Structure 1
């Protein structure tokens, strides 16, 4: 009888242990040359909204993690670099690689990890591929793996995280993704962003705006009647956009007597004193506006401005002629406008 009770007891213990392990993921690894260090793990989105600390001893590390479902996460290294991996309940994930090549680790333990490892191995065999080749490889993978979390990672890395993303191409790449992927927070937010971009794309008519200038006067589109209007989005707290003010000073100096062209600054500041000091320090002599709402400024949201500095060029009718133009592109646009005006005057003269 004692043996029977013992058997039952062991079954209960083993069942409890088995249940516990199925609710967690086991992660271990060896990255040669890493030595003794500290790594961090954090989720790629709110589906794994936490950060775990990993201690590395003699190149090796291990941890027990608790994902609720299949999630994407990042391994963050002390030098600031990071590498993606995927985990689910019951997974036994293993990482191996070299500290000299943290951008090409080999991770196993489930299908998406193995898919990404195979993809990285293929890229490594190409030597130093061009950006075009990388995009082709990533696009091919995405089109062939409609339900893989790796497709989301590659979409973000090679198509979204660019200075000027091609949202038409990005939208096309998401069209064949399964509903499971489209329900992921990243894709859901990305598609919303694309919809915003489409509403504020080149050729569209911009929304009406009404913003106060440094003296409190309300400035609207009607203040620039019959003019091409270049709107520069910046902020006193953003060093890059502060540096970009030099480009606009040059444009203003050259075009200030041009009755067909005007400049307008829209600041994303939330502190009035800082904004006004920056206007003075940077000698911004053209019209400046700010409603002190930062990224919540309605006009900024309507135009899908997501990063600073940014600009848009409006025609006299309010049509968006260009977005995020470089200094050279702005000059070319202004020359084109000047040529159009000359042709129009010539046409009217011949009537």
Structure 2
């Protein structure tokens, strides 16, 4: 996928525990931040063990925030800024995590507290020090880090970011990098899950048959691709009302809907990963999302999220009339050309 992603590790805690912990001996972890120029803002912190999803809302006042968590072991998380920037975090019990930097360079924040956070900061600072890099340079540096740090949790994040979440992943390279990791990481539940997700990604690559789903709309009508969108190109938009980048994307979708709503060969469907029905319905009404919308209110634990390998929002997939996947995160211009070609046939 070609957008900055929500890290897959935000879906699976590295040790199989959620941010709230999986035992009774929970400890307070403090997440603090001082980010110049951020002003008053709202951030979101994701963390989950695969069966329970948690979304923490963090309020920023004058560039500062202080948030308390309860964890009993090291877990993975991701801090999401409304500007569409995603920062990975590693949280441990009784740890003070300090985040500092500038709102003008959110990708290069300094994160202190626990070795993985500091290793990630060093990696990012290395990229920053190199100045303008070629498209392949960050990937090469990520590979070097992974091979030189076979026991670092950051290696898992870099593997997913720079190799798994690509439009056309090199699965042989991914498998090679995993094989080079230490026994500690090899035994990590995340690696097992990563292998499983790589397998799923192969199943949802361009040219593969799109997974079947059946989801309810606001009227509790069950919507499927094969019934409501038979013999049409179908653009599925994956979103959530709590995800700011998703909401910003709606303006483009409204334009696409206006341009193609009379087309007999094209349809649109919004699949939301909201948890709250009221928030979902409010977003649909306020943003005038008049095309078909569905949601099962299971968040990113929804079966359709797993079926389509959705790890970042917003995302979209274009499905051909024959049910094959035509493209991931298709642009408006790409969509125009594909529909035009279909209409001409």
Pairwise same-fold verdict (TM > 0.5): yes
Cα deviation, 1:233-281, whole Å, max 9, x if unaligned, reads 1122222111111111111111111111111111122222222222121
The structure-2 alpha-carbon separation of the partners of 1:330 and 1:78, relative to structure 1 and needing over 3 Å to count, comes to: same
The answer for unaligned runs of 5 or more in structure 1 is: 1-37, 54-74, 88-94, 96-101, 105-115, 342-351
| 8 Å Cα contact 1:271/1:292 also seen in 2 | yes
Bigger radius of gyration, 1 or 2?
1
| 8 Å Cα contact 1:152/1:187 also seen in 2 | no
Whole-Å separation in 1 of the counterparts to 2:333 and 2:133: 29
Match of 2:213 among 195, 200, 209: 209
2:95 is the alignment partner of 1:52: yes
| 8 Å Cα contact 2:238/2:272 also seen in 1 | yes
Cα deviation, 1:94-125, whole Å, max 9, x if unaligned, reads x9xxxxxx954xxxxxxxxxxx8xx988x798
Offset, 1:78: 4.2
| 8 Å Cα contact 1:138/1:155 also seen in 2 | yes
2:193 is the alignment partner of 1:189: yes
Offset, 1:162: 6.2
Give 3-state SS (helix, strand or coil) of 1:215's partner: coil
| 8 Å Cα contact 1:142/1:154 also seen in 2 | no
Offset, 1:181: 3.1
Give 3-state SS (helix, strand or coil) of 2:317's partner: strand
Whole-Å separation in 2 of the counterparts to 1:329 and 1:84: 44
Match of 2:297 among 284, 292, 295: 292
| 8 Å Cα contact 1:235/1:269 also seen in 2 | yes
Give 3-state SS (helix, strand or coil) of 1:194's partner: helix
| 8 Å Cα contact 1:138/1:154 also seen in 2 | no
Give 3-state SS (helix, strand or coil) of 2:95's partner: strand
Whole-Å separation in 1 of the counterparts to 2:313 and 2:322: 25
Whole-Å separation in 2 of the counterparts to 1:289 and 1:134: 38
Structure 1 length as normaliser, TM-score?
0.60
Structure 2 length as normaliser, TM-score?
0.61
The structure-2 alpha-carbon separation of the partners of 1:135 and 1:251, relative to structure 1 and needing over 3 Å to count, comes to: same
What number of residue pairs does the alignment pair up? 252
Q: Within 5 Å, which residues of 2 pair with 1:1-351?
A: 45=75, 49-53=92-96, 76-79=98-101, 81-82=110-111, 86=115, 103-104=121-122, 128-140=132-144, 142-143=146-147, 145=148, 147-149=150-152, 152=155, 155-156=158-159, 159=162, 166=169, 168=171, 169-221=173-225, 222-339=227-344, 341=345
Offset, 1:151: 7.6
The structure-2 alpha-carbon separation of the partners of 1:244 and 1:163, relative to structure 1 and needing over 3 Å to count, comes to: farther
The answer for unaligned runs of 5 or more in structure 2 is: 1-65, 77-89, 102-108
Instruction: Quote the RMSD (CA, aligned, Å).
Output: 3.7
Whole-Å separation in 2 of the counterparts to 1:166 and 1:204: 15
Give 3-state SS (helix, strand or coil) of 1:311's partner: strand
The structure-2 alpha-carbon separation of the partners of 1:269 and 1:180, relative to structure 1 and needing over 3 Å to count, comes to: closer
Aligned twin of 1:107: none
| 8 Å Cα contact 1:231/1:264 also seen in 2 | yes
Which structure carries more relative contact order (alpha carbon 8 Å, separation 6+)?
Answer: 2
| 8 Å Cα contact 2:146/2:159 also seen in 1 | no
Cα deviation, 1:272-322, whole Å, max 9, x if unaligned, reads 222222212111111111222222322222111112111111112211111
Offset, 1:77: 3.9
| 8 Å Cα contact 2:269/2:293 also seen in 1 | yes
